[in-house]
Structure 1
């Protein structure tokens, strides 16, 4: 049973909320250093709580600023608990269609992975988890929601969310991604109970925010160890999550391409292509800009832009049986698994997922044009262009308990920090008793 709870959110006061664009910020793992420096110039921007400026004690600085904002009324806590509807309106490059990703923010119990209530699809880096756990332990304040997916083919909750959106609390003009973000709240106790009932028999797939979620797990585990008499319902058992319906057509996953900064072991272009030819049909192309189009919808097909020359790569039919990594059939079937095994391991000699995660010669780039530009400038030797992962693939992999190659998914758009915050202080009451389904 996935237990969710409404929250008494902390939000920017009504005057500041009218200019919410000035105070929202990108998530800690996507905000660039350049963006950070711009946002730090605004003394009230949420970046100061979510990604405090590095110094002697960043988490302590965030706590001091939080206390100041609460005492001076910059942040105010809503009187009634609620579930917060969060819509993001956006367009994709080359399309005139406006999408609307519909979801809601609430607390969810911070389940251990072994409980199989919240399912992951990627591994985490300990340093990033520790950073999030330390910030949470010092502030006891959750500054941005992770993104979780539940499946409801009947789309029952959307009608309640749509009703709430008739009276929004705040909205951005256009965020850093070009999306428009709208926040509203549901405070009707009966409707909130229905949200709890529907989620009570669902598993949740963690789409985005693995490090923040594990930071909550780490903090919860430390608190439980320190207090063996805890009752299981203290505020620190819960984690702030943005939940969206995996059955929605407006849930978009964009591809993340691989940029090879170098060819290891003094490998030259000719030998690299020869090694690729052992496993792929390698077809030179006239123009690089057609690479995404000619691989679209084709299994185990990739674009390669190497030293200014484009190629199409298509795995040979008999080659896939050579893939001998110790993982599930669902993971082996993924395009990115094929790319990482046959290109990074077999052709480049970077053996095994662990070595590939640590290899500094590969970087992950979402923008296709940027890939071409960085190869043409000499900053990189090659770009590997891939298709996006589908929602079906994400669900199939997660339900096997396996994980995907790094940076397999990019759920678009990213949620924003700063629309609301939640407290998990010891004196913060749990709004409702945990929901218990009828037997």
Structure 2
């Protein structure tokens, strides 16, 4: 049972929302230092709540939030609603404009073992801790995580298509994506959403760190509240839900950068890889992402002077000693993390989640440049992960390595802020919900 409810969020006042493009911000795990520096210059930008400026970042956000409420910078909606959120975008090499359709609501924060919300990748501990500290201070979800439900009949899209004709906001974001937000207040239509999602299983596409922060916060509040009923705000999480069956669900590859390994030697690494991989030198490193595209268990390796395409020998797959089901062992990313990162580079699987030797970059050109400039010792170029692979992994009960997927486009922050503070979360007496 996936319980969702409408939300009564805080949103920028009418005067400020006329300039919503100046107030929106990227999510905490993709915003760059350069973007942060620029966004911090605007005292009302949503970055101050989603990725507050250090030192004492969480405390700073808490004080600022109360100031914004008192001064009317943000106002709480009078009625609960389902918020429809469409993202119009293009993908390189394809002329068609895509539109990812979805809606934003509160969803009960389920424990992983309940099998209602399924994770598909591991998290990085430090990032989870940062999200917990912030949630404790502000009692507010500054941005929605991204969840997936499956519906081949496209039942809810007709209601969303109707609502989006009367948008509240429309802007072009930092990705070049056109973001449009609308609201559904009709009681009967909202109930259709609640009833339809109830029997569904939700796959967590993006926002694992924020969701785990909500889980921790829920458990802590439950322990401290002897009158816990399960209806308190801390039991809920803000989520953007989209349909896996739509053709606008795009997943981009996330490449690995390796740095700081002592006695790093290209020849030694290649020698270790020879046993399990077919290795082919590539003359033009800037084409290696095209060389490997669509080929299973194929990766690009970019060193300072040389580049190689490597592809696992099928007979080597059974060598994986990690205790995973076959469907997880057969994933490109499992192959990469086991044979390349553990066996060849010497970083054990148990240490990879927190390893400072591994960073992640979606941009192929960034990876290439960082290696050439000496900012990284090696770039491991990967293929994208399919939604079918994600479904299979979730069904197995296991997870992919951290940063396995990059769902595109990213949801942006700033359109609304979802409170879980009890006196603000409680449904007004005039509301049917």
**TM-score of the pair, normalised by structure 2:** 0.95
State the match for 2:317 in structure 1: 320
Q: Does 1:381 align with 2:377?
A: yes
State the match for 1:4 in structure 2: 4
SS in 1 for 2:314: coil
State the match for 1:437 in structure 2: none
Query: Residues 238, 275 of structure 1: CA spacing in aligned structure 2 closer, same or farther, 3 A cutoff?
Result: same
Equivalent of 1:297 in 291, 294, 299: 294
SS in 1 for 2:11: strand
- For residues 132 and 258 of structure 2, the distance between their equivalents in structure 1, rounded to whole angstroms, comes to 32
State the match for 1:89 in structure 2: 88
State the match for 2:265 in structure 1: 268
Q: Return 1-10 or 323-332, whichever deviates more.
A: 323-332
State the match for 1:131 in structure 2: 130
State the match for 1:179 in structure 2: 177
- For residues 350 and 370 of structure 1, the distance between their equivalents in structure 2, rounded to whole angstroms, comes to 23
Deviations 1:167-209 (A, max 9, x none): 000111x211111111000111111111111111111111111
- For residues 286 and 59 of structure 1, the distance between their equivalents in structure 2, rounded to whole angstroms, comes to 49
State the match for 2:14 in structure 1: 14
- For residues 107 and 432 of structure 2, the distance between their equivalents in structure 1, rounded to whole angstroms, comes to 13
Query: Residues 18, 119 of structure 1: CA spacing in aligned structure 2 closer, same or farther, 3 A cutoff?
Result: same
Residues 180-199 of structure 1: pairs in structure 2 closer than 5 A: 180-199=178-197
State the match for 1:246 in structure 2: 244
TM-superposed CA distance for 1:313, in Å, is 0.9
Residues 1-400 of structure 1: pairs in structure 2 closer than 5 A: 1-55=1-55, 57-172=56-171, 174-261=172-259, 264=261, 266-351=263-348, 353-400=349-396
TM-superposed CA distance for 1:102, in Å, is 0.8
- For residues 356 and 66 of structure 2, the distance between their equivalents in structure 1, rounded to whole angstroms, comes to 40
Q: Is the 8 A contact 1:39 1:45 kept in 2?
A: yes
Q: Is the 8 A contact 1:308 1:375 kept in 2?
A: no
- For residues 67 and 104 of structure 2, the distance between their equivalents in structure 1, rounded to whole angstroms, comes to 25
- For residues 266 and 133 of structure 1, the distance between their equivalents in structure 2, rounded to whole angstroms, comes to 37
Q: List gaps (5 residues or longer) in structure 2.
A: none
Query: Residues 310, 77 of structure 1: CA spacing in aligned structure 2 closer, same or farther, 3 A cutoff?
Result: same
TM-superposed CA distance for 1:433, in Å, is 7.7
**TM-score of the pair, normalised by structure 1:** 0.94
SS in 2 for 1:399: helix
Query: Residues 358, 137 of structure 1: CA spacing in aligned structure 2 closer, same or farther, 3 A cutoff?
Result: closer
Deviations 1:22-52 (A, max 9, x none): 1111111221222212111111111111122
Structural RMSD (CA): 1.7
- For residues 281 and 50 of structure 2, the distance between their equivalents in structure 1, rounded to whole angstroms, comes to 46
- For residues 321 and 126 of structure 1, the distance between their equivalents in structure 2, rounded to whole angstroms, comes to 30
SS in 1 for 2:53: coil
TM-superposed CA distance for 1:260, in Å, is 2.3
- For residues 322 and 232 of structure 1, the distance between their equivalents in structure 2, rounded to whole angstroms, comes to 46
